[in-house]
């Protein structure tokens, strides 16, 4: 058993199962089941997997919302050209949607490569003409793996509520307040490691001023110093003394 698994197995119950991310996933994950390339995300059970699934769900729902509003307003403009101009109208629509920023441009539909995703940012009229018209329904051939394509940047966006703690050339550390976990995410957008905090042995867990406390844990992780990381976790009251001892025993 790895240290990370030991921490996860001994973590006390968190609010994640009753939080916004889980509620969103439970409500909309059927959209993933209906979409073959992303169907595997409809069976997530861990917090990081659900966050990944929700990124894709929000991208799909952005796509649907932008298309719906664009075509509805197009019909109204045909009848009354004096209504709100399309760009102003769509800017208002997208102002409430989550997005990823790449090179100064907002990406609302990161399940597409940037060349196609840009249509949903500022070239909506292309949705009315071939070949882009196919994106409305028959779009699976145009899908990409957003995590391979956009990488860890997806987690540093409005598609999640994660708090970014540190970035390196090929990795990112982020904190999930609901799951009470530190995620270490690689450049392919996959999870390298998860540090679960607040084990069952902590009778009165201290959960204020979290960021400066867990930053020290992140530093120890990137120094690849297991003992230092455990010392910090214990000193900052993020794990119990009993769990620290158990970790030492597992190392022997």
**Which pLDDT tens digit goes with each residue over 189-228?**
999 999 999 999 998 899 999 999 999 999 999 999 999 9
**Which pLDDT tens digit goes with each residue over 116-147?**
999 999 999 999 999 999 999 889 999 999 99
**Which pLDDT tens digit goes with each residue over 20-47?**
999 999 999 999 998 899 999 999 999 9
Which of the pair, 178 or 248, is modelled with greater confidence? 178
What distance in Å separates the CA atoms of residue 100 and residue 111, rounded to the nearest whole number? 11
Strands (DSSP E) found in the chain: 100-102, 105-107, 163-167, 171-176, 181-186, 191-196
pLDDT of residue 71 exceeding 80: yes
pLDDT of residue 177 exceeding 70: yes
Question: CB under 8 Å to 197, separation ≥6 — which residues?
Answer: 7, 11, 180, 181, 182, 214, 233, 238, 239
| Model pLDDT, residue 149 | 96
Return the bridge partners of 100, or none.
107
| Model pLDDT, residue 29 | 96
pLDDT band at 252 (very low <50, low <70, confident <90, very high): low
What distance in Å separates the CA atoms of residue 227 and residue 123, rounded to the nearest whole number? 53
What distance in Å separates the CA atoms of residue 225 and residue 246, rounded to the nearest whole number? 18
| Model pLDDT, residue 34 | 84
70-105 as b/e: b if 16+ CB within 10 A: beebeeeeeeeeeeeeeeebbeebbeebbbbeeeee
In eight-state DSSP terms, residue 205 is: -
pTM of this structure = 0.95
**Which pLDDT tens digit goes with each residue over 81-108?**
999 999 999 999 999 999 999 999 999 9
């Amino acid at each position: 058993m790895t240290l990370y698994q030991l921490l996860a197995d001994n973590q006390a119950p968190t609010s994640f199962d009753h939080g916004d991310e889980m509620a969103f996933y439970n409500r909309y994950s059927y959209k993933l089941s209906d979409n073959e390339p992303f169907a595997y995300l409809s069976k997530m059970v861990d917090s990081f997997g659900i966050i990944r699934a929700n990124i894709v769900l929000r991208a799909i729902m952005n796509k649907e919302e932008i298309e719906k509003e664009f075509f509805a307003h197009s019909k109204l403009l045909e009848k009354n050209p004096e209504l709100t101009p399309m760009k102003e109208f769509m800017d208002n629509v997208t102002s409430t949607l989550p997005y990823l920023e790449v090179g100064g441009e907002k990406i609302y539909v990161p399940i597409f490569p940037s060349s196609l995703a840009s249509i949903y940012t500022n070239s909506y009229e292309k949705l009315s003409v071939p070949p882009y018209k196919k994106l409305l329904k028959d779009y699976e051939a145009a899908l990409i793996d957003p995590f391979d394509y956009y990488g860890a940047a997806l987690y540093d966006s409005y598609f999640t509520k994660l708090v970014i703690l540190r970035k390196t050339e090929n990795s990112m550390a982020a904190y999930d307040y609901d799951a009470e976990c530190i995620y270490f995410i690689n450049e392919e957008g996959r999870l390298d490691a998860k540090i679960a905090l607040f084990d069952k042995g902590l009778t009165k867990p201290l959960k204020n001023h979290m960021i400066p406390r867990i930053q020290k844990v992140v530093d120890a992780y990137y120094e690849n110093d297991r003992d230092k990381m455990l010392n910090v976790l214990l000193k900052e009251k993020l794990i119990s003394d009993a769990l620290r001892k158990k970790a030492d025993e597992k190392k022997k």
